[in-house]
């Protein structure tokens, strides 16, 4: 399976004028000792694989944002684009951002709430914008990819060793982000903090501060890579 290879350039066979790609180094991934993804979830990944491959392996983010659903109860679509705000302000920001991305790549503007490919395109563009690279075409490893996942989730100042363990450094890092690094079956259960749109009241946002029981995007990414023979 091809993950984050020619990250945006290969999306549409050269449509539009996309920025230079980011290339992930191809390194072997050992089969995980434990699995998080059920047979049904692997079947959903296989179903979505044509879109994932065009949008460069977004399974980890898709799991975290919607557990592979192609819709959401709150604005933002399957990959939960969240430019901030509430109510109509949030919805208008999503529409505006979606239109910008679609036009950038020369594809029809569609609603990411209902069109899965559009949701995937917008998400991969957002992820690309979070890669902290120093050259236009930069091979990156899992650590740089993890940092990009962290950026997709907002690089919270709360993701520190001290805040998670009450000891150690107060320097934010993706290793202390449950969105990226959570691995409950291997004893890593981090706290999730922040806000999200309220599914019961679109004019409000809910505060979150609790242990996160889900695996992180990097853990899911590595598992899917290791189990790619099941997707053939």
What is the DSSP secondary structure assignment for residue 180, as one 8-state letter?
A: H
* Interatomic CA distance for residues 129 and 137, integer angstroms: 13
Total domain count for the chain?
Answer: 1
Q: Is the pLDDT of residue 16 over 60?
A: no
Say if 139 falls within a structural domain: yes
* Interatomic CA distance for residues 180 and 145, integer angstroms: 10
pLDDT of 15: 40
Cα atoms in the Cβ-side hemisphere of radius 13 Å centred on 154: 16
What is the DSSP secondary structure assignment for residue 197, as one 8-state letter?
A: E
* pTM reported for the whole predicted model: 0.77
Q: Is the pLDDT of residue 25 over 70?
A: no
Say if 142 falls within a structural domain: yes
Q: Is the pLDDT of residue 29 over 70?
A: no
Say if 13 falls within a structural domain: no
Segments forming the whole domain that contains residue 34: 23-153+215-231
CB atoms within 10 A of CB 14: 11
Greater pLDDT, 20 or 142: 142
pLDDT of 200: 82
Say if 71 falls within a structural domain: yes
Answer for the pair 98, 90: CB distance below 8 angstroms, yes or no.
no
Say if 138 falls within a structural domain: yes
Say if 103 falls within a structural domain: yes
Say if 185 falls within a structural domain: no
pLDDT of 2: 37
SS3 of residue 188 by DSSP: strand
DSSP element (H, E) containing 210: strand 201-211
Arithmetic mean of pLDDT, 157-172: 95
Q: Is the pLDDT of residue 91 over 90?
A: yes
pLDDT, tens digit, 9 for 90 and up, residues 105-159: 888 999 999 999 899 889 988 988 898 865 554 556 788 889 999 999 999 999 9
Say if 81 falls within a structural domain: yes
In whole angstroms, what separates CA 64 from the centre of its chain? 7
Res. 196 pLDDT band, cuts 50 70 90: confident
């Amino acid at each position: 399976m091809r993950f984050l290879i020619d990250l945006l350039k290969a999306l549409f066979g050269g449509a539009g004028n996309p920025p230079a790609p980011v290339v992930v180094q191809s390194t072997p991934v050992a089969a995980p000792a434990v699995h998080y993804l059920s047979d049904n979830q692997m079947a959903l990944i296989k179903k979505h694989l044509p879109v994932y491959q065009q949008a460069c392996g977004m399974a980890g983010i898709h799991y975290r944002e919607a557990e592979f659903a192609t819709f959401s109860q709150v604005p933002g679509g399957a990959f939960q684009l969240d430019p901030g705000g509430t109510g109509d302000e949030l919805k208008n920001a999503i529409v505006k951002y979606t239109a910008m991305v679609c036009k950038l790549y020369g594809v029809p503007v569609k609603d990411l709430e209902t069109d899965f490919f559009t949701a995937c395109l917008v998400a991969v563009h957002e992820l690309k914008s979070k890669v902290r690279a120093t050259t236009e075409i930069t091979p990156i490893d899992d650590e740089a990819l993890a940092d990009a996942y962290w950026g997709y989730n907002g690089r919270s100042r709360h993701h520190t060793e001290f805040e998670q363990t009450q000891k150690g450094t107060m320097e934010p890092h993706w290793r202390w982000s449950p969105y990226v690094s959570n691995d409950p079956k291997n004893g890593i259960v981090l706290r999730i903090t922040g806000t999200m749109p309220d599914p019961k009241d679109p004019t409000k946002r809910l505060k979150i501060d609790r242990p996160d029981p889900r695996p992180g995007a990097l853990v899911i990414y590595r598992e899917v890579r290791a189990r790619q023979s099941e997707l053939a």
